[in-house]
Structures are given as C-alpha cells and as structure tokens.
Structure 1
C-alpha cells in the first residue's frame, strides 16, 4: 500500500465516511457531552439504581425484561410504591414472558394500587393471541430525565452471583433514552404523558450513541459487523448467549487473520444450557482463524459488552445472536472514549483470570499473536500510525467478504463438533419418540394454539363488523356547505 493511500485512510474525508457508515449502521447519531460511569456486577448496579430512585422528584421510568418476585425485586417494587405515593410519576413496562409468574400472581398490583402506571409487553389476549417472539429485552431505568441506567442486569436477586455489566448515563443522550421508553410504552397503549422535564444538559465530554433497536431493524447487527471490519488492533467480546450468524463469524475470522487480537468470553455453565451447546459448535472455525475463546469459570457471565482498539466500547442488553439482533427490543450504548475503553479492556483482562481458554487439541496449539502484530508493537509511534492506516484500508475490504457470507449463509462443520451435534440429535430423537408414544403431547398444545388463534380472529372480526354497523347507523355529519359569496352592489366602486 502506498503512503498516499495510507495518508488518505487517516484523512478528514476518511473519518467523515467512517462516521457516516457508523451512524447509518447504528441508526443513531454520535452525541457528545455525556458522562458514563461503568458499573460492574449487581452490587454496584443495584445500589446505584436504588440511590437514584430514592432521590427522584418527578419521574421514574422502568423498562425491564425480567422483574422477579424475590428479595431484590420486592425491594425495588416497594421503593417504586413509596415514590408513587409521594407524587412521583412511576411508569413500569415489563415483558410478559420474562415475568409471566409475577404477571399472573399479582406481583405488580401494589404498584397499581398506589397510582403507578404498569404495562406488560405482549401479554396474551383474545384479540392479540399469544406472541412468543419479539420480546422487550431492554434493561432501562430513567430518573427525573437526568440519569439513566442501561446494561444487562434485570431486577432480580439471581444477578447477585452473576458477572454482568451496566452503566449510569447523564447528558444529552437522556432525551434519546426517554424517547426509546416512550416508543415502547406507546406500543402497549396510550402515548406516554410526563410532567415537564428540564432539557438534559452536558455532564461530561464522552461521545456515544444510544441504540434502541426494534424487531427487524438490525441496527446493532450492522454496527457489530462494521466494528469487526474497522477494528485494527483488538476486538474483545463478552457475550452470555453467543450464537453468531455466518456473516458475523466470517467477520471475526477475517479480523483475526488480518492480525487483530480477537477474543471471545462466554459462559461455561449457562442458565440456558442448549444455547451453550450450540455455541460450542462454532468454536473450531473461530480457533482455526486465530480467534481466542474463553469460558467463564463462575456461575454465569451475563454481560453483553465489546471493546474495539483503544477508543470504542459497547454496553447494553443485546446478545450476539439472531434473537437479539432481529427479533427483540434492545437498548445499548456505543461509546467512543479512551477512558471508558481502557476501563472495559482492563476489566476484560481481569475476567480472563477467572476463565479457561479453549484450544485446539492434539498437535494444534492455541493461536498466538501474528508476527505482524508483534512487529507493529516494536515500531516507532509515527510508523505505527502509518501501518494502522494501511491496516484500516485492508480491513475495510473485509466488509465485502462479510456481505458475501451473509448471502451464501453456509459454514463447514468439523468433526470436533460431533459431541454437540450428538446432544442436539438425541434431544430431537427423544422428543420424537415421546410424541409417537403419547400423541397428545403434540396434539393438545397444537389444539390449544389453534383454538386461541380462532377465538382471536373471530373476536376481531366481530369488533370490525360492530364498528362498521355503528358507522352505518351513525354516519359522521357532513361539513356544512360554505355560504355563497356576497355580490357587491352594482354601484359599488
């Protein structure tokens, strides 16, 4: 690559094009003037939630996938009740599937009794039927329009033993956070009505994007693919339920082959075991390309974070799988700041101390940093900048390969994946045998689903017929005809 091409990669035009690509992929602009405090694990996050809500004077908005009837869940609910009694506007939106036990056992009734507003996302009904896909997987709390909390933690004591990451946000992005909540709220009923709130002011010097995804938008999926293509030195990922698409796996592989230090931290003992099994089927292709894979040794790592180079980090609710990318409502913060990126990188290395690296067995040893990366680390700073600019141009070419992989959608299966496929196959076989011996196991759920769907459609038809009949019986009044224009008298001048 010539020096002219390398310098153009670092030119203002190149940076402008990169910013445009990031903004269009994420569907969110880069907003400056924010303060971001990274909070690790439940102790720091829960304490910050409770302290902020305790000081609330006007509004508390909570959008939460899972709100459990356990010690912490009850503490948070009771605090919200006290704030509602004190005249604070409290709006809680929870996901029905994440809280179905609490939904039917009256866990949220105390909030309604004290005047709080509570809504459930996609609760089954005769008019809407039962929709399992497209969950509200967000974890968002907004207090008084000046503080927001975003991350992977739900309102449950279960998170006390889990490794997770959240953040506290203040600054102009609070307007986007409130708008994201208002959009979800309006999908479940009447629009959100809040008392007047002061316009968010600058609270720091951090630039970030608030990415509130909705089903089928794929904003964060496009951004994750783009970051995998733009990363020059490192891309460190922590994900609770990793099931990368063919396009994303290809992006990680090409980044690693190009000398990027790509690492992936996932749980060994997942609370959803079958996802961990499927995730392991994707290890070998990553390892062969030079991606380093680590499994967390603790009870559960539930964080959804990423760190790229020395500048970019992402924290939020989105997992690296199709459900989060395409089906759910998620919310994440993509941060462009040296300090936050350094904090996240330091914690990632600390997490690896409690993780086991997965390596290729036999004569295949674990991947090591490429000679290109070692040579780059020994260069003077000026030459490092030139090499990095050249790498940026090479890595931009990965995007074409990623898109090609997305179209083809294929991936070779290696013999090392036999055990994982055996487990999946045995589960399917046992399910087939159970249905063959006890046919009602398949017939009864299908019958119930069909009855519910039929009742929903018939009820909707009856509502439409009734509406049409009312329109015929009470037609809207016709607008009064405009009076004819007065003609001026003949002698008017």
Structure 2
C-alpha cells in the first residue's frame, strides 16, 4: 500500500513538472512572438473624439480620449497651481513627456506650492533612478517594489492609480500613465473633474498618503466636506485595508442592466462572478458589447483573456477587437444612466489586488458622451464571431488550455 502511494506521488510530481515545462515553453514562445511583433509594429492610427465637458450635479466632467489633449490640460493645471499639487501615477517615463511633468512639478514647488508625488516602484524599474531625484521641497512616496514582510498580503498590491489634484479646483483620473508613447500611440480614457467632486479626489490622495506616514513623511490634514455628491461617487481599492469596492460596483451595475452594457477594457480576465454576471445579462436580452485590443501590450494577458471568449460569445456577448493601436481604457456605460471611468481593469490584479481608483457617475449626459465615444471606437474594431472563434487552429486551442491555470494569477 505504501509503495503504491509513493508511486502515485511520483507520477503526480512528474505530471506537474511536465505541465510546468509546457507552460514555460508556451510563455517563452509567446514572448518571442511579442518581441518580433513590437519591432514590426506600424505607427498607431485610430479615430479620436475631442474633449468635451458636461455637468453632473455640482461638478463638471470632461472626457479625454487622446493623450496630447490630456497632458496639455494637466500640465496647464500644474503650472497654474497656487497652493498644492497631488500627483500620483503608476508609470512615469523619463522621456520628453515625463520630463515636462517633472519640470512643471519642480517649478511649482519652487514658487511655494506644496507638491506631493506618489509613483509605483515596480512599474518604473526600467526608468533610470536619477530621474526621480526631486528636490527636498517635493514630498515623495515611492510605492515599494517588495511589500513589508510583516504585512505581506495587505501590502502586496501595486499603486496602479493615476490621479492629479490641483488646489481645490480640478482633478484628473483615468487610464493614462505618463509618457510619450501614451500621448499619441495609445487609445485611453481620462476624466477632468471640477466642482464638488474635487474634495473626494483630494481625499482619495490624502487617505492613500496617510496610510504610509512615518519619519520624513508627515500626515496630510484630513478635513471633512460640506458637500455630498450624489451624482458622482469615488471608489478606491485599498489593499492595506482589505477594501475592494470597485468589483462590487461593477457587479451591481451589470446586475441592474436592462438595455445595454458597453465596456472598453485593456485586459479582460474576469473572475467567475464577473463572467457569470456578463453572461446572465446577455442571456436576459441585454445588448452586451466589449471592446478589447486585438493585440495588447501584454501578449500573455491576451492569451489568458481569449480563454473566456468562447463562453462570452455563446451567451450572446459581442466582442469587438480594436485595430491599429493599443486600447488601454477602463470604462463602462450602462442603459444611458450609469458610467465609470478609472484605473481598474477587469482582472483579479486590479479588482482584488492593486490600489485603484474609479469614479461612478449617475448622469445621462455623461453616459451619452461615453456612448458616443464607444460608437467612434467601435468604428475602428472588427467583431469576433462565434464561427470564427471555433475555427481557430488546434495549436492555439492547446496553448489556451495549457495557460488556463495561470488565469487566477491575473
């Protein structure tokens, strides 16, 4: 009996090692394909919608779909700052655009503005460390590459947020990182906010900053607000506090849908609840459409995402593959009433792991604007049909099966 157990363990171990070897080989092959693809990629060409402002309650919302337009207004806001600038980003490149933001922040500090900066250490490992040598007048938090061993799970999330708040006047949030590539070659979505909601955006930065105060990094004053903003809500994933409301926001909104759901996402790797919610909506007659990149900047994420395409297509969800550029937006709009713009992808890393920030907007005007953007984006897509998906090669199907166990990691 003991001999049989030993033999079974040996067989199981060999199978696990064999599967791991096949997975490793598949990943290496995909990475090689990705490198060749990136070298031969043509310049990005895609339709874009000029920024336009609409009101939502006591706030104004301006939606951007082109990086140059966004960066122009963000830099303008920093250059006009009088009292404070809160700047937080996931990726901050040391190229021309990155230098422009660095110069604007330094200039603001030199004229007496209180400048606070937060950026993610892991996301910027390829950036020369000297780029982040900022004067002492700028207070900086570099979100650590490795979490504290004393709070490994609660500190493990990356700071994936992209947020700028200037004075008490204006805030920017959305999918755009800081860099020249994103200015012209990526299709992303960001929002500019003024009015009552700016307090909420300031508070989002202050609460994040104050989670990590210590020697050399004093706490920011945390004051209450005289305004309640029913039309716009701010949802923040905070791993340190084990709080992840963005996932629940999506599930609740999808469950309410009765007419249409339009999502645009860079990486679509839903967990079982999110997948079931989308399929249930389609089966009850809701027009569910999802724009995803035909080829994203992460080929492994593409292949993991494709593992869900069959189930989605069979349930009636329409998948629209964006052409000619990386679409990096994280947006949704439902039934002409509800919308969200933010930093969280539909994957486990964003919804159950990272520090993220999304606004939830209850406004027909904002929904109408996002629907118009979705229509323009749809004109630059190719719809994937169930017949086309079934006809993919046996090797592709095998590779998807091999990589399937990796889905929970993303």
TM-score, scaled to structure 2: 0.77
Aligned position for 2:143: 121
Q: CA RMSD in A?
A: 2.9
Aligned position for 2:168: 145
Aligned residue pairs total 343
Q: Distance in 2 between matches of 1:123 and 1:427?
A: 26
Task: Find the partner of 2:398 among 422, 426, 436.
Answer: 422
Q: CA deviation at 1:100?
A: 2.1
**Are 1:36 and 2:35 an aligned pair?**
no
Q: CA deviation at 1:98?
A: 1.2
8 Å CA contact 2:203, 2:222 repeated in 1:
no
Stretches of structure 1 that go unaligned for 5 or more consecutive residues are 1-30, 365-413, 429-493
Q: How does 1:360-379 map to 2 (within 5 A)?
A: 360-361=386-387
SS in structure 2 of the partner of residue 155 of structure 1: coil
8 Å CA contact 2:307, 2:400 repeated in 1:
no
Q: Distance in 1 between matches of 2:352 and 2:147?
A: 24
Q: Distance in 1 between matches of 2:78 and 2:227?
A: 20
Structure showing greater Rg: 1
Q: How does 1:173-322 map to 2 (within 5 A)?
A: 173-190=197-214, 207-215=231-239, 216-322=242-348
Aligned position for 2:83: 58
Q: Distance in 2 between matches of 1:207 and 1:258?
A: 28
Q: CA deviation at 1:105?
A: 2.2
Q: Cα deviation per residue 1:22-54 (whole Å; 9 max; x = unaligned)?
A: xxxxxxxxx942211111120221111011111
8 Å CA contact 2:165, 2:201 repeated in 1:
yes
8 Å CA contact 1:174, 1:200 repeated in 2:
no
TM-score, scaled to structure 1: 0.64
Q: CA deviation at 1:101?
A: 3.2
**Are 1:155 and 2:178 an aligned pair?**
yes
Change (3 A) 1:163 1:126: closer
Change (3 A) 1:310 1:426: closer
Q: Cα deviation per residue 1:73-95 (whole Å; 9 max; x = unaligned)?
A: 01100110111111111100111
Q: CA deviation at 1:418?
A: 5.2
Q: Cα deviation per residue 1:425-453 (whole Å; 9 max; x = unaligned)?
A: 7789xxxxxxxxxxxxxxxxxxxxxxxxx
Change (3 A) 1:187 1:152: same
SS in structure 1 of the partner of residue 131 of structure 2: coil
Q: Distance in 2 between matches of 1:173 and 1:128?
A: 36
Task: Find the partner of 1:170 among 186, 190, 194.
Answer: 194
Q: Distance in 2 between matches of 1:418 and 1:151?
A: 39
Q: Distance in 2 between matches of 1:127 and 1:256?
A: 44
Q: Distance in 2 between matches of 1:124 and 1:262?
A: 39
SS in structure 2 of the partner of residue 342 of structure 1: helix
Aligned position for 1:89: 114
Q: CA deviation at 1:136?
A: 0.6
8 Å CA contact 1:213, 1:220 repeated in 2:
yes
Aligned position for 1:339: 365
8 Å CA contact 1:182, 1:192 repeated in 2:
no
Q: Cα deviation per residue 1:235-267 (whole Å; 9 max; x = unaligned)?
A: 000000110111111111111111111001001
Change (3 A) 1:72 1:243: same
